[in-house]
Amino acid sequence: MKSANSDFDIEYFILRSLGESKQPVGSGSLYYLLQERGDEISAPTIGRRLRDLEHRGLVRKVSVEGRTLTASGSALLKKLEHDHLIENSAQGFLALLKQDSRKDIVDQLMARRVIEGETAALAASGASDKTISQLEDLIERQRQRVMEGQMAVDEDIGFHETIAAASGNNVLASMVHLLRSQKQLAYLVTAIRAKVHTRFVVDHEDILLAIKARKATSARQAMEQHISKLISDVERYWEQVFPRRRSSRS
Burial class (CB in 10 A: 0-12, 13-18, 19+), 54: middle
pLDDT in tens, 63-100: 777 889 999 989 888 877 766 665 665 566 555 555 55
Residue-averaged pLDDT of the chain: 83
- The radius of gyration of the chain from alpha carbons, rounded to an integer in Å, stands at 21
The percent of residues in the chain predicted with pLDDT above 70, rounded, is: 82
Instruction: Identify any residues that bridge with 66 across adjacent strands, giving them in sequence order.
Output: 63
Q: How many CA atoms lie within 13 A of 240 on its CB side?
A: 12
Domains and CATH numbers, the chain: 7-84 (1.10.10.10), 97-245 (1.20.120.530)
Q: What is the pLDDT of residues 126-171, one digit of tens each?
A: 999 999 999 999 999 998 888 877 778 889 999 999 999 999 999 9
Q: What pLDDT is stored for residue 232 in this prediction?
A: 92
∠ Cα 191 5 229 (to 5°) = 20
**pTM beyond 0.85:** no
Confidence class of residue 29 from pLDDT cuts 50, 70 and 90?
Answer: confident
**What pLDDT was estimated at residue 38?**
67
Print burial letters for 201-225: b (CB count within 10 Å at least 16), e (below 16). bebbbbbbebbeeebbebbbbbbbe
pLDDT digits (tens, 9 = 90+) for 205-221: 999 999 999 999 999 99
